[in-house]
């Protein structure tokens, strides 16, 4: 059978087969086999595997055939994948770059729908490999459904890009293969830009940290930085004996910052968060209070990680991460500067440097500054907030 024939067969026979016993059903078997006997090994091979589902013990409302990259996931419940999703009335099928709804439902509860939409929006506005036949438009799998529509709705929310096919008007097999090949390109681009392909939660946490407005276009570009499998990482402190003259803080100019820095910054914060928890392993009550506040409460508090020393004293930690050396200037916001002044000896700035070496080493170098950083660093203004003066002369306005 060809790809065209498999899709056409499901569309035309599934509703009739749902009236037949599920066990040992031939159409259910075709769906479970995925595309392994349908497309060539040069299209689906290596890390890519294919499987599908007509349901678990009984017929599914939305049957599917998926393509999975083993480096990301082999389950439709978690991760990113490519999937053919058949509408319940068998009038439509969508070739969709999608994500596991069950993961969001289990981890985020009432916020699951909002969070999966944010992740969809993030990739919709950043993937560049899409073809002209792909669209980020919503897919419709709940039309006419009553009762429990949780899973079909999850598929809808998880859609990133799709190609829409109509029953009775499928394109040629050759075109469907081209569409699939192009969608595989998109999945590969997505994979190459993950923070950690083996840790889905970490990738989702990073995207959610960007505070994406799903109603507005995302302009953030994705550039691959450090990506590694989850291993034990050691934060190694280096003492500063002499502060170079060019070592200074700068007020934050959001337009000037390379947008890729957000990914590096997130990874640095996470390493500090995990290190602080390890430090308090013998003090479980304190360890459980360590919090990655830039993720749980937002990034406007003036610090990134709440931790404690072994006596239970609070430590407000701001993390600044760079792939360059320890002399590299970094940006400080007005809020961060003010927070360091008001919290004095409870405030710490962890400067992680030479971060690109993490690719070849589990040791991450950093130095630590404590207290009011306005008394430690020099500052160079790089942007200004402008406003109208009440005495402005209207003659100066063109």
Q: What tens digit of pLDDT does each residue of 187-217 get?
A: 999 998 887 777 888 889 888 888 676 665 5
The predicted structure's pLDDT at residue 391 = 61
- Rounded Cα–Cα distance for residues 114 and 200 (Å): 17
Give backbone dihedrals phi and psi of 267, rounded to 5 degrees, phi first.
Answer: -65, -40
pLDDT of the residue at 243: 58
Please tell me the predicted confidence (pLDDT) of residue 65: 97
**Residue 79 pLDDT more than 70?**
yes
- Among all chains, which residue has been given the structure tokens 């438009």? 137
Least confident of 14-28, 149-163, 248-262: 248-262
Helix or strand holding residue 39 (H, E): none
> How many CB atoms sit inside 10 A of residue 28's CB?
23
Q: What is the pLDDT of residue 222?
A: 35
Most confident range (mean pLDDT) of 215-229, 255-269, 361-375 is 361-375
328 contact partners, CB below 8 Å, separation of at least 6:
322, 353
**Cα distance between residue 320 and residue 265, in whole Å:** 7
Q: Residue 159: which of 104, 114, 97, 67 has the closest Cα?
A: 97
Taking the mean position of all CA atoms in its chain, how far away is CA 69?
16
CA atoms in the 13 A half-sphere facing the CB of 238: 15
Q: What is the pLDDT of residue 358?
A: 53
pLDDT of 221 reads 38
Element (H, E) at 2: none
Q: Residue 255 pLDDT > 90, yes or no?
A: no
Across the range 143-163, mean pLDDT stands at 91
3-state secondary structure of 331: strand
Token couple for 179: 């569409």
Asked whether residue 390 carries a pLDDT value surpassing 70, the answer given is no
Instruction: Indicate the pLDDT class of residue 181, thresholds 50, 70 and 90.
Output: very high
Q: How far is residue 51's CA from residue 42's CA, in Å, rounded to a whole number?
A: 17
pLDDT band with cut points at 50, 70 and 90 for residue 223:
very low
Q: What angle do CA 171, 174, 175 make, to 5 degrees?
A: 45
pLDDT at residue 135 greater than cutoff 90: yes
Q: How confident is the model at residue 383 (pLDDT cuts 50, 70, 90)?
A: confident
E-assigned strand segments in the chain: 48-53, 64-69, 80-86, 92-99, 161-166, 234-237, 249-251, 305-308, 314-321, 330-332, 347-353, 363-370, 379-380
Q: Which residues pair with 332 in a beta bridge?
A: 251
Least Cα distance to 269 among 245, 243, 290, 249 occurs for: 290
Residue 240's pLDDT is 67
- pLDDT score of 388 more than 50: yes
pLDDT beyond 70 at 105: yes
How high is the pLDDT of residue 392? Answer: 56
Q: Which CATH class is domain 3-193?
A: alpha beta
- For residue 385, give both structure tokens: 């907030």
User: How confident is the prediction for the chain on average, in pLDDT?
Assistant: 85
Token pair for 93: 């099928």
Q: Which residue has the higher pLDDT, 374 or 242?
A: 374
Q: How many CB atoms lie within 10 A of CB 210?
A: 16
Q: Would you state the pLDDT for residue 215?
A: 60
Q: Where are the domains of the chain?
A: 3-193, 218-241+253-375
pLDDT tens-place string over residues 322-355? 888 888 888 888 899 999 999 989 999 999 988 7
**What would the two tokens of residue 36 be?**
């392994």
Q: Does 356 score more than 70 pLDDT? A: no
Backbone φ and ψ of 124, nearest 5°: -60, -35
């Amino acid at each position: 059978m060809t790809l065209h024939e498999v899709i056409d067969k499901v569309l035309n026979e599934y509703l009739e087969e749902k009236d037949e016993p599920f066990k040992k059903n031939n159409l259910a078997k075709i769906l479970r086999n995925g595309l392994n006997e349908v497309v060539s090994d040069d299209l689906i091979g290596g890390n890519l595997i294919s499987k599908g589902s007509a349901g678990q013990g009984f017929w599914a409302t939305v049957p599917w055939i998926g393509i999975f990259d083993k480096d990301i996931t082999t389950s439709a419940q978690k991760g990113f994948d490519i999937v053919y999703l058949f509408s319940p009335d068998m009038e439509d099928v969508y070739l969709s770059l999608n994500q596991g709804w069950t993961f969001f439902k289990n981890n985020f509860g009432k916020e699951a729908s909002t969070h999966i939409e944010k992740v969809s929006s993030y990739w919709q506005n950043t993937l560049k490999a899409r073809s002209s036949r792909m669209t980020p438009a919503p897919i419709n799998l709940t039309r006419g459904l009553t009762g429990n529509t949780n899973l079909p709705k999850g598929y809808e929310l998880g859609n990133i890009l799709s190609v829409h096919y109509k029953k009775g008007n499928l394109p040629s097999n050759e075109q469907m293969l081209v569409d699939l090949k192009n969608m595989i390109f998109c999945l590969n681009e997505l994979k190459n830009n993950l923070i950690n392909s083996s840790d889905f939660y970490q990738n989702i946490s990073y995207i959610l940290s960007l505070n994406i407005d799903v109603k507005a276009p995302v302009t953030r570009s994705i550039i691959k930085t450090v990506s590694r499998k989850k291993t034990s990482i050691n934060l190694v402190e280096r003492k500063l004996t002499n502060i170079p003259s060019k070592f200074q803080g700068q007020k934050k100019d959001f337009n000037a910052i390379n947008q890729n820095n957000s990914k590096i910054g997130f990874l640095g914060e996470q390493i500090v968060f995990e290190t602080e928890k390890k430090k308090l392993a013998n003090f479980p009550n304190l360890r459980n209070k360590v919090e990655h506040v830039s993720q749980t409460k937002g990034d406007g508090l003036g610090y990134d990680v709440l931790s404690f020393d072994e006596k239970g004293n609070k430590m407000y930690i701001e993390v600044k991460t760079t792939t360059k050396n320890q002399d590299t200037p970094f940006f400080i916001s007005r809020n961060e500067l003010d927070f360091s002044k008001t919290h004095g000896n409870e405030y710490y700035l962890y400067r992680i440097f030479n971060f690109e070496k993490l690719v070849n080493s589990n040791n991450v170098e950093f130095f630590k500054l404590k207290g009011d950083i306005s008394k430690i660093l020099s500052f160079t203004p790089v942007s200004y907030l402008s406003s109208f003066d009440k005495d402005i002369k209207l003659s100066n306005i063109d």
